[in-house]
Amino acid sequence: MSAPVFFSTQVVPPQRRRQYWCDVLAESFPGMTTMGAQDLRADLSRWKLGPTGLARARSSRTRVSRVANQDGHNVVLHLLRKGRLSLEHDRHVVTAGIGDIVIADDCSPYAIEISDANDCLILQMPAALFGESYQAASWHGRVLRAGDPNVGFFDYILRGLWGRREQFGEIDDGMGDVLAQAALIACRSAINAPCEEQSGSSPVEFALRHFDNPELGTTTICQATGLSHRAVQKAFLRETGQTPTAFITERRLEQSARLIATADAATITEIALDVGFNDPGFFSRCFRRRFGLSPTEWRQGRRPS
C-alpha cells in the first residue's frame, strides 16, 4: 500500500502545463498522453491498494489517448462524478454521464474525449483479479449505467474507500479484493449489453439517483441527459410541479431529516455534506425553513410525531 499523492497543473507556469500533465498521465497510466490546451487546468490524486490503483482526475476540456500496454494487463473503470466523457475504440464511440462507468482494457488502444469541468474516479486493477469471468473483447469500451443497482453498489464501495484514503495506514490490503469483487459484479452486465450512446434516463430519474452529488443542478442534468435547459425545466414541472433546484433541495432535506433522526454517529455537518449541501450554514437555514426546527432540535426529538 502506498500513501496518496497529488499532482496539479497549477504548480507549473501555463506554458508548461500540457507537458506536465502528459508526464503525470504517462506515469500513472503507461502509454497515455493528452492533446489538451497548452494552459490545461487539471489535477490527479492517486493511491495504491495492493495491486489495485485508485485515482481521481479533474480537468478542463481535453482529449487523452492510450496505446496498447505492453507491460501487464489491466482493466480500467472510469466512474464519472461530473461532466461527460466519450470513449473511442476500434471505430466505436460510447458516451457516459454522471454516475455511469466506462470500462477500458489497457491492452487495447483507446481515446477519451473529456468535457469541461470533468471529475472522474478511476479504478485500475490487474485483469487476473477478475479470473476466468473476464472477457476483454466483450468488456472493452462498455458503459455500465448508473440505474443498475449493481453499479450503484460498486459506486458506493468505491466512493467510500476513496473518501478514507487519508487513513491508508489503517486499511487492509484485502479491501482491494473486496473492491475487485464489487467491480466484477457490476461488470457482468457488460458482457452481453449492446454499446449505447446515452443513458436514456429521464431528468427526474437522474436527479433522484444523484441528488447527493453537490454539483447536481440543471446544467449537470442537461449534460447527463443531452437535453436543453428548457426541456429539463419542463420535464420537472410536468412530473413534479417543481423546478429542478426545488426538487433537488427537497430530496436532500428529506434524506437529511431521516439521517439526523437515526444516525447518531454522524455529525449534522457530516450529514449535510453527505446529502449534497456544500455549506452547513445554508443547510441549517433550509432545514429550519422546511421543518420549522433546527437540525439540532430535530435530532433531540422535538420533531412532530
- For the chain, how many structural domains are there in total? 2
- The set of cell numbers assigned to 293 is 426546527
Write out pLDDT tens, residues 239-249. Answer: 788 899 999 99
212 and 119 inside one domain: no
Q: Residue 46, Cα to own-chain centre: how many angstroms?
A: 15
33 and 171 inside one domain: yes
Out of 55-59, 186-190, 282-286, which region has the weakest mean confidence (pLDDT)? 186-190
Nearest Cα residue to 288 out of 253, 237, 249, 245: 253
Distance in angstroms (rounded) separating the CA atoms of residues 248 and 235: 14
127 and 213 inside one domain: no
Domain limit, last residue, from 131, 159, 190: 190
Q: What is the pLDDT of residue 263?
A: 58
Q: Residue 246, Cα to own-chain centre: how many angstroms?
A: 23
169 and 284 inside one domain: no
Entry pTM: 0.66
98 and 34 inside one domain: yes
Q: Is 202 helix (H, G, I), strand (E, B) or coil?
A: coil
What rounded mean pLDDT belongs to the chain? 86
Quickly list H helices, the chain. Answer: 17-28, 136-139, 149-163, 175-187, 203-210, 218-225, 229-240, 244-262, 268-274, 280-291, 295-299
State yes or no: pLDDT of 196 exceeds 80: no
Residue 265, domain member (yes or no): yes
Write out pLDDT tens, residues 7-26. Answer: 999 999 999 999 999 999 99
- Nearest-Å Rg of the Cα atoms of the chain is 20
Residue 197, domain member (yes or no): no
Domain limit, last residue, from 190, 218, 233: 190
Write out pLDDT tens, residues 66-77. Answer: 999 888 889 999
Domain that holds residue 29: 5-190
3-state DSSP of 74-92: EEEEEEEEECCEEEEECCE
Residue 254, domain member (yes or no): yes
CATH of the domain at 244: 1.10.10.60
